[in-house]
Copies of this chain bind each other. A is one copy, B any other.
Amino acid sequence: MYRTHTCGELRSSDIGKQVTLAGWVQYIREKGAVSWIVLRDRYGVTQLVFEEGRSQASVLEQLKGIGRECVLQVKGAVVERYSKNSEQETGAIEILVDTLNLLNPSSTPPFTIEEETDGGEDIRMKYRYLDLRRPTLRRNLALRYQVNRAVRNYLDTQGFWDIETPFLIKSTPEGARDFVVPSRMNEGEFYALPQSPQTFKQLLMVSGYDRYYQIVKCFRDEDLRADRQPEFTQIDCEMAFVEQEDVLNTFEGLFKHVFKEVKGIELTDAFPRMTWDDAMWHYGNDKPDIRFGMKLQNLKVDGDYKFEQLKKVDFKLFSEAQSIIGIVAKDAAEWTRKQLDELTEWVKRPQIGMGGLVNLKCNKDGSFKSSVDKFFTPVQLQELASFCAASANDLVLFVAGNEALTRKAASELRLHLGNQLGLRQPNEYAPLWVVDFPLLEETEVEGHWAARHHPFTAPKPEHIALMDDKTQYKNIKANAYDIVLNGTEIGGGSIRIFQRDLQEKMFAALGMSKEEAQEKFGFLLGAFEYGAPPHGGIAFGFDRLCALLGGQETIRDFIAFPKNNSGRDVMLDAPSAIDALQKKELGL
């Protein structure tokens, strides 16, 4: 061993000991006859001291060749520091070095290796091995390991077995594109990399393994959005002989365990549950941030007036709109004209796409003032405020237009106002189960339906009969559920189909012919013939969960070696050309 202690270990109680440390030079400081080096490793930092008179001349001479990020091994005595640093765990001591061994020199790094670096994204990706030295990345990967460990420990207590599923599987593209792998031994044929171990975990239930999990890489060849990776990690779980309630309870337990172990936070209350219908109605999306209220006020939905009095108002924007939704911003009646103009511009951005924003100020004196005063009588304004449950000093904002667009806009506006009003506190955690998702959703091609979750999700038992009537597809709800934290979906799952005939009906609903179903999923249909138990499960986005627990938005810095937005590893320079012989052997 190159060391007797790590750089995070020594304390006052070690004073007088002879120790050996090894690590990286964080920085060097000189003041007259004294030099200090702060030596760093995974465990912390320790200060080394060199002083004329106290240190050997040869050691002082060696110091001249030492720069940042050099790797040193030093031997010396633990001594008390003159000026202690209470913010450093080792801040009470320093090492009076008597032997210095330069294990490896370092060129000057292309960016500073500190909490805040001067390196841009590109250079840091290229020199990822240096970026990973920065404290923020080290903390992120430490947290990731902690989460990993907490998940495994909890699932072990619950009787789950980690069972590995294959990576070289069959290509059955469905929604997302598969990455494929040409087979040399079976020329002209291809494996696919799994988008998830879905069918394998179901087979394991059929095989009687009862409770399965994996923390496993999955692959999707999609055009990458800012925060997507072609390879990502899933906490993948499945249980047999369970109903939805059992799955929710088991994984609510997982969540509480992880929060306690990793964040020290006890989430004592049961997580609220909300139907998908309610989530869409009250929040305009299926992953509501429930750290704050501000529910949407549905005045008109799909042409149907919920606030009857509006029918009498001759205001074209409202009367022509399919839907009208209001939001009450508490105590914001006194927002300035400038603030309101900015909000209007905000909803008019292409990402939101609204034509404009109507406001209604509920003044403290009981009067009302609106941007569209002339279309309303004072009584009507009062009734409108009252319908929206607005109080004196509140501001009500209205968007109107096409139902889907307006609901989405209202949802975004709610989050935006939540941010402006400081209602989205990063240290507050509001988990939520969203349940009763629709089984199917119509695709862009009219009359074509896709699985909302995936084709293995079971309809609610009472809705199975609706599977025979295409006009009823939109009304079929599934035993499917998402777990949402602070407005971000971090996991989702469902109770699965476990009967061959129902699975065939589902494939047919998705427009798959019998032959196609058999060719792609014959093994699963076959398995359902030999005693498949009822089962269900869930999968969590591990990268996303870690980022959320780390209080950050992007997943990239919670992955040791991520790809960039073009799916490239710029450090390795991959993907890259392969040689002609390799191609020939693969029959490409």
Contacts and interface: CB of A to CB of B under 8 A. Distances in A.
Contacts of A163: 141, 144-145, 560
A182 B185 contact: no
B241 A1 contact: yes
Given A24-B531, A161-B142, A181-B181, A133 B70 contact: no
A382 interface: no
Nearest to A107: B529
Interface of A: 1-3, 22-25, 40-43, 69-71, 73, 103-107, 109, 127-130, 132-133, 138, 141-142, 144-145, 148-149, 152, 156, 161-171, 173, 177-186, 188-193, 200, 203-204, 206-211, 217, 219, 221, 223-224, 230-231, 233, 241-243, 246, 498-499, 522-523, 526-534, 559-561, 563, 566-569, 571-578, 582, 585-586, 588
Contacts of A223: 185
Nearest to A216: B217
A217 B167 contact: yes
A522 B576 CA distance: 14
Contact of A531 (B70, B178, B184, B530): B70
A99 to B, nearest CB: 16
Given A42-B208, A207-B130, A221-B184, A574 B170 contact: yes
- Tallying the copies of this chain within the complex gives 2
Contact of A164 (B191, B217, B585): B217
A85 to B, nearest CB: 21
B499 A180 contact: no
B209 A42 contact: yes
Contact of A575 (B186, B242, B523, B588): B186
The 5 closest A-B pairs by CB, nearest first: A106-B531, A170-B574, A132-B207, A189-B575, A2-B241
Contact of A166 (B23, B193, B561): B561
Contacts of A498: 104
Contacts of A1: 241-243, 246
